[in-house]
Structure 1
Amino acid sequence: MSDVIVVGGGPSGLAAAHRLTRGGLSVRVLEASGRTGGKMSTTRQSGFVIDDGAFFIPSTYRTLRALAAEIGMADDLVPGRFVLSTVRDGVVHDLDGEHMVRSIVGTGLLSSRAKAELAKLAPELVRSRLATYDRMPKAGRYDTQSLNDWARAHLSAELQEYLTDTTMRGIFATSGDSASRVDFLAIITLFAGANLLGFRNGMASFPERLSQGFECVVHADVHEVEEGPDGVTVSWTDADGRDHIDSAAACVVATPGEMTAKIVIAMNDWRRDYLTRVRNGHVIVANIALGARPARETTYIQVPRSSHPFLTGILFDHHKAPDRAPADKGLLTVALLDSWSEDHRDDHDDDISATVLAAVDDVIPGLVAQTEFTRVTRWRQEFNTVGCYRDLGRFRESCQSDTRVQLAGDSQCMQNIEYATMTGLRAADRLLATGLFGGRRSG
């Protein structure tokens, strides 16, 4: 019998399992899919190293970077070129991501009037200091309306189109109509002054290394997590359809909010309702392997709504990290709007590929002229609805009294790998501090 069962083998669950293992505990991870790592997934094909999910790692992801160093992967995080671009009226405008303010002042993307209006965003820069993991509940006071509703009341149509909404589309593949104003504050915090990093051998190399040292069971469909006076029981079904009931002293549940609300038996109605308010949406990403490397120096092109209705961003992977594509060849990752992905999630991959290639060619003619092959990946992505940040502090406080069952995952904060990692580590630390395991503590 394991000391702790971790439900969910994404970045949050793996971080928790790692911390608990270092604390001297035996851990078993139960993961519903066929592999661990969640959105940190990598495929190799014809000499291309293709990240299927998470695109890049800002240098501000300090917790993830520290964990990578702890497992001997500090040198595997390599810097890439950070040129952030935006399309307007068929022209691609480049911004130096490491000197963003200076680039914005000199860019032709915005009119002189819009540049002068940027001063209106100065208060948001100050407020963004609250949009860190620890202080996010304080940022909840600004979680009263969607980003676009706020922008329409305070900014010109030009800044709404080419700054706030385009940033939300480009970074999170969702619209400012549904995203909270706090999401934009958090983006400022996470990307201002950041460099972009990538794992040398692909995103999946990190969870693969992190998974060493404890047992991981994939294709494990968990039905119930029930806490008793002497331990926790976890009911699940394996890949062959066999039912299991495992016992442990404690459990970390690091699953999407709606799943957590479903499987954790002892949960009050308010917490259950909070978790189900976190929207579990669909995201489709297409990878395009090119027979010739494009001449563009950009790393990531954001696509505003006026340039295309559902194409949100184009990542030039060969600029992200070395050896992502064979010499003189190129690799693109194309992000599609979540609402479009929801409507087309059951379409055949060939149909999606054809639609994406046509869309890219419409936005940047000739970019995909020498396509060698395409890949289509689907995943589930959580999005906070307006009001979630406002109630985040209450939710976290309600978790402080938990003992044997600790919650982690994207629903605990903003949805990104850094904060997911932090929720896993903190859930593990709370367990280690309960006294359930004697003197064993994390190292």
Structure 2
Amino acid sequence: MQPSPHTHSTPGPGIGPSGPPGHVVVVGGGISGLAAAHRLVTAGARVTLVEASGRLGGKLRTGEIAGVPVDLGAESMLARRPEGIALARAAGLGDLLQPPATATAAIWTRDALRPMPQGHVMGVPGTPEALAGLLTPEGVARVGRERELPPAAVGDDIAVGQYVAERLGREVVDRLVEPLLGGVYAGDAYRISLRAAVPGLFAAARRHGHLLDAVQEVQREAAAAAPAGPVFTGLAGGIGTLPDAVAGTIRAHGGTLLTRTRALGLARTPDGWRVRTEYGTLEADAVVLAAPAWSTAELLADSSPAAAAGIGRIEYASMALVTLAFRRADTAALPAGSGFLVPPADGRAIKASTFSSRKWAWLDESAPGLTVLRASLGRYGEEAQLDWDDADLVAAALADLATATGLRARPVAHEVTRWIGGLPQYPVGHVTRVARIRAEVAKLPGLALCGAAYDGVGIPACVADGQRAADEILATPTLARGTGEGAGQ
């Protein structure tokens, strides 16, 4: 990955001990770490963020294809959670928030593009009628018999796929739940925790013996609580512009952001913490660990072996993103909508495709002669494709796109982005594991964790976790003494 010229800052060997109280080191420059640093520095703390790679933003990344700016990672965030939008506004991007131009998607299954059904919760339907055309008649009828089954309890946790298959049949899981969950976690529905991945449905399922009743309750609550407006939003220019904007705000408040600076060790001191890096040592009153699970586990091995062991067991899935630019005249027959998802049961190479120029007005307007599409490949346990050459990944994506949509034109440009260890997995028991990890970390004053590995993989969830970690640190006595009223304003 190439460093961003806006975030790259290479420290020399002169990193030294901190000055006055109130110094926090944030390890990890993804959106969670940036959110934590932003919260801390605007509260008056002195912040140094260290990031091992050459750029900030983690899975948020922009690039170019055929001279057009595009997202090469996450492209949108939930609009019905406030944290991501609020951070974008705080970073000066409020005027660039933009909902999708179309949210009409499809499922490519049983050799046809079929409309995404309405009225579901992460693919779990509330009525059998919603699935007509997507499932076989037998599959739809199976859903309709769910209330004839004895009521079931979900217990402390259960795999999404197991629970839904038992109540509604495997066809619902294989044709709808799997592709939707796969789009978020690149995982296996028969391993993913209902409690961690779909907490609202888990809570409702504990109150109802029948799954259809639980889904309908979640839908009623969502309709009552959600403000009018789109479910998702992006940013003109790409959601990947958010990290640099947040970084600029952090710098404006006096924060220091160091890329290409790997944290090698973490140790307690009588007054706080010592973070050993490639270029020297940082003395800190407190530390926020916002790095991926494997890095965090290594850093905590001496200070908290129990927490390190739990974190080290968190697994990740890898994926590849193939971005393609076509002459617009060659894509006139492309189906309507924003794209489609692909159930793994159908054995295709790709797991999803987004018609980016259709989905985002800013992209459509910036390249009126081009159509930009992207396709993703790779799921947990099915990642052999990531070892393919770029040319083979592009060929696989084009072959599936041709079969699904009839698009047989050759692209004028392509870009392959590999996200190795990109998406943490939330198997059954994940919530309990995270609670134990946090309980162990809480025994160490002035230390907090955040990131996608714990409480949610979406942008708002990661922002919220970073802010929660910052608030924990700000509540410690040392930091309270070091952040005077009005500091940082």
Q: Give 1:321's match in structure 2, choosing from 360, 368, 373.
A: 360
Q: Give 2:130's match in structure 1, choosing from 102, 105, 117.
A: 105
* Equivalent position of 2:326 in the other structure: 290
| CA positional deviation for 1:328 | 4.5
Question: What pairs up with 1:109-128 in 2 under 5 angstroms?
Answer: 109-111=134-136, 114-115=139-140, 117-118=142-143
Q: Does 1:274 align with 2:313?
A: no
Q: Which amino acid aligns with 2:327?
A: G
* Equivalent position of 1:405 in the other structure: 447
Q: Does 1:424 align with 2:456?
A: no
* Equivalent position of 1:56 in the other structure: 76
Q: Please tell me whether the aligned partners of residues 307 and 438 of structure 2 are also in contact (alpha carbons under 8 angstroms).
A: no
Partner secondary structure for residue 75 of structure 1: helix
Q: Please tell me whether the aligned partners of residues 86 and 94 of structure 1 are also in contact (alpha carbons under 8 angstroms).
A: yes
Cα distance between partner residues in 1 of 2:63 and 2:359:
16
Task: Give deviations 1:392-442, integer Å, cap 9, x for gaps.
Answer: 333333343432221111222132222211111111111111121315479
Cα distance between partner residues in 2 of 1:44 and 1:121:
49
Q: Please tell me whether the aligned partners of residues 94 and 298 of structure 1 are also in contact (alpha carbons under 8 angstroms).
A: no
Question: What pairs up with 1:223-372 in 2 under 5 angstroms?
Answer: 223-237=264-278, 243-292=279-328, 293-294=331-332, 295-325=334-364, 326-339=367-380, 342-362=383-403, 364-372=404-412
Q: Please tell me whether the aligned partners of residues 131 and 140 of structure 2 are also in contact (alpha carbons under 8 angstroms).
A: no
Normalising to structure 1: TM-score of the pair? 0.85
Q: Give 2:171's match in structure 1, choosing from 142, 158, 172.
A: 158
Q: Please tell me whether the aligned partners of residues 322 and 414 of structure 2 are also in contact (alpha carbons under 8 angstroms).
A: yes
Cα distance between partner residues in 2 of 1:103 and 1:329:
40
Cα distance between partner residues in 2 of 1:35 and 1:54:
16
* Equivalent position of 2:183 in the other structure: 170
Q: Which amino acid aligns with 1:355?
A: A
| CA positional deviation for 1:53 | 1.0
Partner secondary structure for residue 114 of structure 2: strand
| CA positional deviation for 1:205 | 1.2
Cα distance between partner residues in 1 of 2:293 and 2:428:
15
Residues 14 and 220 of structure 1: is their aligned pair in 2 closer, same or farther, counting only changes over 3 Å?
A: same
Residues 222 and 432 of structure 1: is their aligned pair in 2 closer, same or farther, counting only changes over 3 Å?
A: same
Task: Give deviations 1:33-78, integer Å, cap 9, x for gaps.
Answer: 1100001101123242221111321212321112222222222210
Residues 143 and 420 of structure 1: is their aligned pair in 2 closer, same or farther, counting only changes over 3 Å?
A: same
Partner secondary structure for residue 392 of structure 2: helix
Task: Give deviations 1:242-289, integer Å, cap 9, x for gaps.
Answer: x31121222111011121110125443332222112103322111111
Cα distance between partner residues in 2 of 1:297 and 1:50:
20
Q: Does 1:92 align with 2:113?
A: yes
* Equivalent position of 1:72 in the other structure: 92
Q: Please tell me whether the aligned partners of residues 175 and 345 of structure 2 are also in contact (alpha carbons under 8 angstroms).
A: no
| CA positional deviation for 1:24 | 1.0
Task: Give deviations 1:130-180, integer Å, cap 9, x for gaps.
Answer: xxxxxxxxx995434x33333333222321221222222233322223322
Q: Which amino acid aligns with 2:165?
A: R
Cα distance between partner residues in 1 of 2:401 and 2:273:
51
Partner secondary structure for residue 24 of structure 1: coil
Task: Give deviations 1:7-37, integer Å, cap 9, x for gaps.
Answer: 1000100001001110112211111111000
Equivalent residues, number: 421
Unaligned runs of at least 5 residues, structure 1: 128-138, 238-242
Residues 197 and 96 of structure 1: is their aligned pair in 2 closer, same or farther, counting only changes over 3 Å?
A: farther
Unaligned runs of at least 5 residues, structure 2: 1-17, 202-217, 224-229
- RMSD across aligned C-alpha pairs, in angstroms? 3.1
Q: Does 1:20 align with 2:20?
A: no
Partner secondary structure for residue 219 of structure 1: coil
* Equivalent position of 1:373 in the other structure: 413
Q: Which amino acid aligns with 2:459?
A: I
Residues 319 and 328 of structure 1: is their aligned pair in 2 closer, same or farther, counting only changes over 3 Å?
A: same
* Equivalent position of 2:161 in the other structure: 148
Q: Please tell me whether the aligned partners of residues 450 and 469 of structure 2 are also in contact (alpha carbons under 8 angstroms).
A: yes
Q: Which segment is superposed worse, 153-162 or 371-380?
A: 153-162
Q: Which amino acid aligns with 2:425?
A: F
Q: Please tell me whether the aligned partners of residues 82 and 195 of structure 1 are also in contact (alpha carbons under 8 angstroms).
A: no
Computing the radius of gyration over CA atoms, which structure comes out larger, 1 or 2? 2
Cα distance between partner residues in 2 of 1:38 and 1:120:
45
Cα distance between partner residues in 2 of 1:151 and 1:98:
16
Normalising to structure 2: TM-score of the pair? 0.78
* Equivalent position of 1:240 in the other structure: none
Q: Which amino acid aligns with 1:378?
A: R
Cα distance between partner residues in 1 of 2:378 and 2:34:
28
Partner secondary structure for residue 378 of structure 1: strand
Cα distance between partner residues in 2 of 1:46 and 1:159:
40
Cα distance between partner residues in 1 of 2:381 and 2:433:
29
Residues 280 and 305 of structure 1: is their aligned pair in 2 closer, same or farther, counting only changes over 3 Å?
A: closer
Partner secondary structure for residue 275 of structure 2: strand
Q: Which amino acid aligns with 1:109?
A: L
Q: Please tell me whether the aligned partners of residues 231 and 250 of structure 1 are also in contact (alpha carbons under 8 angstroms).
A: yes
Q: Which amino acid aligns with 1:366?
A: G
